[in-house]
Amino acid sequence: MKAMAPLAEACGLSATPATKNCAAIYSRKRHVLIGISPFNSRFSDEYVTRLIRWAAATFESFDVLLAGDESALQLEAIGTPEGKARYKARRAVRRNRRSVDEALRQLGPTPPDTRVVSISDFADDPTYRKFKAAGEEAFRADTAFRSSCLEMAQKAILGRLRTVHGSTEPVSESQAAHAAEYVLAELPFFLETPTVLGVEESLLAYHQPWKLGEQIFAGRFSIAAHPAQGYLTVTETL
């Protein structure tokens, strides 16, 4: 889809590339993968609609990434029984999908190859499994990488505790390790979208900076990102 700057600006969103390489990828505007999170009030119907319109107006093509059953791990980490956590996760992801589907319907014609996928859709995909296994191996063998993954998981758990229980109680390492499985499940889409989705180059777009990714891009761990993979922090301007 041809980029349309005025329409993109009208969406009230701007994007900041994480690195110089990300900026170079962004300058070509070939593909973006929009990350949509469950259990997050940021992703209202209105916000998702603006995200979709921004992507369509800015990039030649775009896809949307939803969470999968793995998102239940965050709920399990704060004590939610497995079955109940799985039910809540699936319900939240269905809600996200409805928001995306409605946004696409309102947009009208979209690139014919636009996809709305969830992480769980790739559970049996050999390419995805290869990169997920690489992340899991780095988690076991690279102390610094493991520590950063646990920190990311811990912050997510604290956010859930504040939302659900109004609590800021300490998060144990075992809780963080359980939730970190979700971090590792989504990692292939943060680092290897060109390979996993079969696109020339791509940017993962999300509303918060990605500290773990910045460290990966800086070469601080044994695991690396595809050279055609970038990251954008999307912020509201309205």
What is the end-to-end Cα distance of the chain in Å, rounded? Answer: 24
Provide mean pLDDT across the span 204-214: 95
DSSP designation for 81? -
- Model pLDDT, residue 8: 58
Q: Collapse the DSSP code of 237 into the 3-class scheme (helix H, G, I; strand E, B; otherwise coil) and give the result.
A: coil
Catalytic residues: 37
Rounded to whole angstroms, how far apart are CA atoms 146 and 153?
10
Tens-digit pLDDT profile for residues 38-68: 988 899 999 999 999 999 999 999 999 999 9
- Model pLDDT, residue 166: 67
The single residue listed with the structure tokens 């889809």 is: 1
pLDDT at 1 over 80: no
Q: Mean pLDDT check: name the lowest of 8-12, 93-97, 140-144, 190-194.
A: 8-12
Tens-digit pLDDT profile for residues 124-145: 999 999 999 999 999 999 999 9
Domains and CATH numbers, the chain: 5-236 (3.40.50.11710)
The confidence band for 3, taking pLDDT boundaries of 50, 70 and 90, is very low
